[in-house]
Amino acid sequence: MREVMRLSITLAVVAIVSAALLTGVHNVTEPVIREREQQEYLEALERFFPALDDFETEEINGDQFDLVYDQDGEKLGVMAAVQTQGYEGTITYNLAVDAEAEIIGILVVSHSETPGIGDVITTDNFQEQFIGKSFEDPLEAGEDVDTVSGATISTEAMIGSIRRTVTTIGENFLGKERQAFGLEDLTDGVYRGSVEGTYGDLVVEVEFRDGRIQAIEVIEQNETEAYFMEVYPEIPEKIIEEQELAVDVQSGATLSAERIVAAVRNALEGAPEGEGGDN
Partner 1 sequence: MSAPNPYLDDLSKGIIKENPVFRMLLGMCPVLGVTGYFINGLGMGLAATAVLIASNVVIAALKNFIPPQVRIPCFIVVIATFVTIIEMVLQAFQPVLYEALGVFVPLIVVNCVILGRAEAFASKKPVLRALVDGVGVGLGFTLALGILALVREVAGQGTIMGPDPESAILLFGQGFQPMGLFGQPPGAFIALGLLLGLTNVIFKKFNI
Contacts with partner 1 by CB under 8 A lie at 6-7, 10-11, 14-15, 18, 21-22, 25-26, 28-30, 32-33, 36, 112, 115-116
- Quick one: 94 or 266, whose CB is closer to partner 1? 94
**Alpha carbon 265 to chain centroid distance?**
19
- Quick one: 40 or 188, whose CB is closer to partner 1? 40
Q: How far is the CB of 65 from partner 1 (least distance, A)?
A: 25
Q: How far is the CB of 35 from partner 1 (least distance, A)?
A: 9
- Quick one: 36 or 212, whose CB is closer to partner 1? 36
Q: How far is the CB of 48 from partner 1 (least distance, A)?
A: 21
Distance CA 46, CA 144 (A): 28
- Quick one: 10 or 222, whose CB is closer to partner 1? 10
Q: What one-character DSSP code corresponds to residue 123?
A: S
Q: Which residues of 30-45 are buried (b: 16+ CB within 10 A; e: fewer)?
A: eeeeeeeeeeebeebb
Which ranges of the chain does DSSP label H, i.e. alpha helix? 2-48, 124-128, 152-173, 225-231, 234-242, 254-269
Q: How far is the CB of 26 from partner 1 (least distance, A)?
A: 6
Question: Quick check: 213 and 190 in contact, CB under 8 A?
Answer: no
